[in-house]
Amino acid sequence: MADDLEETIDHVGTRFDLGEYEVAAYLAVLDQGELTASAIADRTDIPQPRVYDTVRSLADRGLVELRESRPMKIVAIDPEEALSPAAVALERLIGDLSDRYTAPARETEAVALVKSRSTIIRYLREVIESAEYELVISLTPTLLDRFDKELAAAIDAGVSVNLLITPASRAPTPHHYSYQAVATTVRTRRGITTPVLAVADGTYSLYATQDALRDDADRYGVIFHRSSLGFLVSGFFSTVLWSTADPVDIAGKRRPFPRRYASVRRAVKDMRTIEGPVYASVSGRRVTSGEPVGLTGAVAASTIEDTEAVASFTLETDEGAVQIGGLLAALEDVEAHKVVVDTSPIEDV
């Protein structure tokens, strides 16, 4: 039984574990029925030298047929015929695995290193869905299409979503894609060196190279489970990626008040767009003593550098004016871990 189960897992995995290039080539061939390698390169972003390896991988999986003509032709096989054996095996596999499943204890390491493309995708979805008030995320256009429903659900729930798309040359234009349904603000960035990453509420985060999503065995993804180390990923996103990307003009949905933030930088940027009085509550710790602190009051002033690398604000409290900074603040009085902003006075935290 164990040998049969291993054989079934191997069979199903071989059929369905496709990289980004393989998915793009397969869909292109399905759309046309028959293509040459050059035509696939023209219709996708697969580099010409990678096309032959990609289509041979599809042929090994029984998804296409290669006709050795001049030039070679890649012919689609009816998906019902190509995938029917795998579908039967998958259905049997689910039943067999369910019989052996034992629910694990929910003790998760703070940091995990993963190399499986499917695992990276699973964690990426989990990070998106876990965001309660703030999400920063860097995606390829293919991943944007894959997760548009999850992003739309976050926007509908009032989550602030900063979305970065890369490479810019492949990003859909606002005329062809409803960015306002999936993001609060959007930017695009050149090149394929930009990593895929996501940070939910400043803590739960994922970082992965784009190569790792193409099944490159030498690449990897890093997961920070509800860890304060997530601010490293968020800081990298803001100072290195977001600051070197080009804004996309969209009319994002207006978030309701009160608004919650894990980043002082994003809180200050929103404060400066509000007309009239602004109030805030802050949970964090005092910079000099490390003592936990909760403060509320009116925002008297705010500052942010042109690079957006440094931001702070002044809160008028019962103990007087208090300077609020972000994580690792040194010049301010308080390092903020969570900020709530409203247009009316906030009760004590």
Question: How many residues in the chain?
Answer: 349
Q: Residue 115: how many CB atoms within 10 A of its CB?
A: 15
Dihedral of alpha carbons 229, 232, 233, 235, sign? positive
Q: What sections of 33-174 are H helices per DSSP?
A: 37-43, 48-60, 79-100, 117-130, 141-146, 148-156
Q: Are residues 288 and 199 in the same domain?
A: no
Q: Are residues 94 and 117 in the same domain?
A: no
Phi, psi of 11 (to 5 degrees): -65, -50
Tokens of 24: 């793009």
Indicate the residue among 99, 120, 146 that finishes a domain. 99
Residue 347 lies in a domain: no
Tokens of 89: 């095996």
Indicate the residue among 248, 270, 285 that finishes a domain. 248
Question: Which stretch of 131-135, 168-172, 221-225, 230-234 has the lowest confidence by average pLDDT?
Answer: 230-234
Residue 104 lies in a domain: no
Q: Are residues 43 and 76 in the same domain?
A: yes
Q: Are residues 23 and 71 in the same domain?
A: yes
The predicted pLDDT at position 269 comes to 87
pLDDT bucket at 209, cuts 50 / 70 / 90: confident
- Let me know: does 24 contact 44? Beta carbons within 8 Å: yes
Q: Are residues 240 and 137 in the same domain?
A: yes
Q: Are residues 79 and 156 in the same domain?
A: no
Residue 254 lies in a domain: no
**pLDDT of 203 higher than 50:** yes
The predicted pLDDT at position 1 comes to 44
Mean pLDDT across 297-321: 87
- Let me know: does 309 contact 291? Beta carbons within 8 Å: no
The predicted pLDDT at position 243 comes to 86
Q: Are residues 124 and 233 in the same domain?
A: yes
Q: Are residues 194 and 272 in the same domain?
A: no
CATH code of 38's domain: 1.10.10.10
- Let me know: does 8 contact 95? Beta carbons within 8 Å: no
Residue 53 lies in a domain: yes
CA distance 326 to 335: 5
Domains: count for the chain: 3
Q: Are residues 216 and 288 in the same domain?
A: no
Q: Residue 41: how many CB atoms within 10 A of its CB?
A: 19
CATH code of 139's domain: 3.30.870.10
Quick check: helix, strand or coil at residue 313? strand
Indicate the residue among 58, 77, 99 that finishes a domain. 99
**pLDDT of 300 higher than 70:** yes
pLDDT bucket at 7, cuts 50 / 70 / 90: low
CA distance 283 to 294: 5
Q: Which domain holds residue 333?
A: 259-342
Q: How much is the pTM? A: 0.63
Mean pLDDT across 235-239: 83
Q: Are residues 231 and 187 in the same domain?
A: yes
CATH code of 321's domain: 2.30.30.690
Q: Are residues 155 and 222 in the same domain?
A: yes
Q: Are residues 244 and 267 in the same domain?
A: no
Residue range 71-114, pLDDT digits in tens: 889 999 888 888 787 777 777 777 777 766 665 555 555 778 88
Residue 240 is classified by DSSP as I
Residue 307 lies in a domain: yes
Residue 330 lies in a domain: yes
Distances (CA, A) of 20 to 57, 201, 216: 12, 28, 11
Nearest to 278 by CA among 343, 348, 347: 343
- Let me know: does 259 contact 341? Beta carbons within 8 Å: yes
**pLDDT of 64 higher than 50:** yes
